[in-house]
Amino acid sequence: MTVRRADAQRNYARILAVAEAEVAAHGAEASLEQIARVAGVGSATVRRHFPGRRAMLQAVFHERVEALCARAGELEGAADARAALLEWLGALTTYAASARGMADVLVPDGQAGADHANACAAQIGGAVEPLVRNAAKAGAVGQDVTVADLVALVTGIALATERHPDPVAEAHRLLALAVQGISPRLPGNDDGTAADQVRHRPAQEVR
């Protein structure tokens, strides 16, 4: 693959456009065959440009991921580190909940090349890291909170609300809940009965 041939580029663009529409319509389950048919190319061609569904989804959501990274960059110098982080989390939530299939791309792959398992997540991780650091410095989040944690949480929320009538609104409700805390132990509210650590494993291993 020295330089991409012109027809290949044309096809790539067309397939990508179709893929976007198809994913928007059918979510992450969109059929590669179907994309090929609509795009008027052979299924092998689709497969050549996007080896695997995941690659296709990553390409489809590439722009959005970049937009999120850019947003993180803008917010990096904000005066209120906490507000900046929350703003960004809100943006991520909106994206993940409104673009069907995006959450699936953000969830760690687990398959094969575990190192670069997930280009998108890594890219986001790098861009958002400063936001989290700033927020941690300001005491707005715990020191041990990582970007991966936050992304995982939002991703999970998006996945869990995917089928909801209004996924975006519902996702934001849950995000707000998680941001404020389901049941935070407030300083001065400690009645000593403790049990504040959520039990790590209940009675016995699930069989």
Near a second copy in 107-166, by CB under 8 A: 107-110, 135, 140-142, 145, 149-150, 152-153, 155-164
CB-nearer residue toward DNA: 9 or 142? 9
Hey, which residues between 6 and 45 contact a second copy (CB under 8 A)? none
Q: How far is the C-alpha of 120 from the C-alpha of 98, rounded, in Å?
A: 17
> Of 60, 47, 61, nearest to 19 (Cα)?
60
Asked if 68 and 74 touch (Cβ cutoff 8 Å), the reply is no
Specify the DSSP class assigned to residue 110: -
> Of 57, 93, 68, nearest to 166 (Cα)?
93
CB-nearer residue toward a second copy: 2 or 183? 183
Interface with a second copy, residue 176, by CB under 8 A: yes
Q: Residues binding DNA: what is the number (CB under 7 A)?
A: 25
Q: How far is the CB of 147 from a second copy (least distance, A)?
A: 12
CB-nearer residue toward DNA: 32 or 168? 32
Q: Which two tokens stand for residue 123?
A: 């890219």
CB-nearer residue toward DNA: 42 or 126? 42
What are the residues whose beta carbons fall under 8 Å from the beta carbon of 131, sequence distance 6 or more?
A: 72, 75, 76, 81, 84, 85, 88
Distance from the first to the final alpha carbon of the chain = 51
Hey, which residues between 13 and 72 contact DNA (CB under 7 A)? 31-34, 40-45, 47-49, 52-53
Which residues bind to DNA, rule: CB under 7 A?
Answer: 1-8, 11-12, 31-34, 40-45, 47-49, 52-53
